[in-house]
Every structure is written in C-alpha cells, then in structure tokens.
C-alpha cells in the first residue's frame, strides 16, 4: 500500500478516535470537562509522523469541542496542534531508554493544553483568576492522560509494535 495513503488512513482513524473519546467520555470540571483525548493524541504521535499526528489531534479535538463546548473550538485547534509538535521536539532529547523518552515527551508536551486552556479560560471568562479556576481539573486530566498513555505505551512496546522515532 502507498505510504501516504496508509498515513492518511491512520491519521483519519486517530482523528475519529480522538473525537469519540473526547466527545463521549467527559467528566465535568470547572469551566469544561476532563477527557482522555490527550492520551489518544499522544498514542497517535507514536504511530504517525509529526504533521499527521498534529492534524489528527487538532481536528479530532476541535470537532469534539465544536459539538459540545463550541467556544473552545479555535483554542483547541491551536493547542492540540502544538502538543504533538512539542512531543516530537522532545523525542530528539538523547535518552537511551525508548519508553522513558516517550514518557518524558508526553509529560512535558501535555503541559501545553494545561497552559493553553488556562489562558483561554482567562480570556473567555474575564480574567486570570477565572482561568486559574480550571487548573485543578486540568491537572487531574494531565495525570489521568499521562497514566493511561504510560500503560498503553507499555503494551505497544511489549508487543514490539513499530513506533515513530
């Protein structure tokens, strides 16, 4: 199969999966909801090149917000495109343990949504204090997504599934 078609199909699958997980598995937090979409975006980063992972994560997440919390659609499109860019930039850090390298990249790149949604909340709701009201929920989402990604990554590595470098 042509490599471009394969990547496009995989990107579409990750966009759809990101949409479904973000849209339909929601736990309310102040000014939004906790979901596991970031975990799917991070997993997409393991199977797709950077630009495909960024597009899949941004589109899947933005569509989920468009259908549930539309005010956040544009910030989400930007935030979720930047997150994979940070992930791939961090993969270049010289760490011999492949699992640890991916966990470090995930831990740091998931700070992008935490900071981005705090800033968006401050803009949308009239001040920095309002943006900070989201932080406890965003921190919970950060750790939940990171833990789930770590468990999924263990399974990917155990099964010797090829991941992007």
Query: For residue 1, what pLDDT is reported?
Result: 66
Average pLDDT for consecutive 10-residue bins of the chain (165 residues)?
A: 88 97 86 86 95 97 94 96 97 88 95 94 90 88 94 87 65
CB neighbours of 107 closer than 8 A, spacing ≥ 6?
146
Query: For residue 160, what pLDDT is reported?
Result: 74
Query: For residue 30, what pLDDT is reported?
Result: 67
Cβ-count burial 75-89 (b if 16+ within 10 Å, e if not) = bbbebbbbbbbbbbe
CA dihedral (88, 90, 95, 98) positive or negative: negative
- pTM metric for this prediction: 0.92
Chosen CATH of 3-158 out of 3.40.50.300, 3.40.50.720, 2.60.40.650, 1.10.1760.20: 1.10.1760.20
Where exactly are the structural domains of the chain?
3-158
Query: For residue 71, what pLDDT is reported?
Result: 94
List helix spans (H) across the chain.
Answer: 3-24, 37-47, 50-66, 73-90, 98-109, 111-124, 128-132, 135-158
Query: For residue 84, what pLDDT is reported?
Result: 97
For 6, other C-beta atoms within 10 Å of its C-beta total 10
């Amino acid at each position: 199969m042509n490599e471009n078609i394969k990547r496009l199909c995989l990107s579409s699958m990750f966009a759809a999966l990101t949409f479904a997980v973000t849209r339909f598995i929601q736990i309310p937090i102040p000014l939004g909801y906790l979901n596991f979409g970031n975990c799917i975006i991070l997993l997409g980063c393991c199977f797709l090149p950077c630009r495909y992972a960024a597009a899949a994560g941004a589109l899947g997440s933005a569509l989920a917000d468009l259908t549930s919390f539309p005010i956040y659609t544009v910030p989400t499109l930007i935030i979720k495109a930047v997150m994979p860019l940070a992930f791939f930039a961090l993969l270049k850090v010289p760490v011999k343990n492949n699992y640890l390298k991916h966990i470090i990249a995930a831990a740091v790149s998931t700070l992008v949504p935490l900071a981005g949604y705090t800033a968006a909340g401050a803009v949308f709701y009239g001040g920095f204090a309002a943006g900070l009201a989201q932080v406890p929920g965003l921190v919970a989402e950060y750790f939940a997504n990171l833990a789930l990604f770590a468990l999924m990554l263990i399974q990917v590595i155990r099964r010797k599934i090829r991941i992007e470098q």
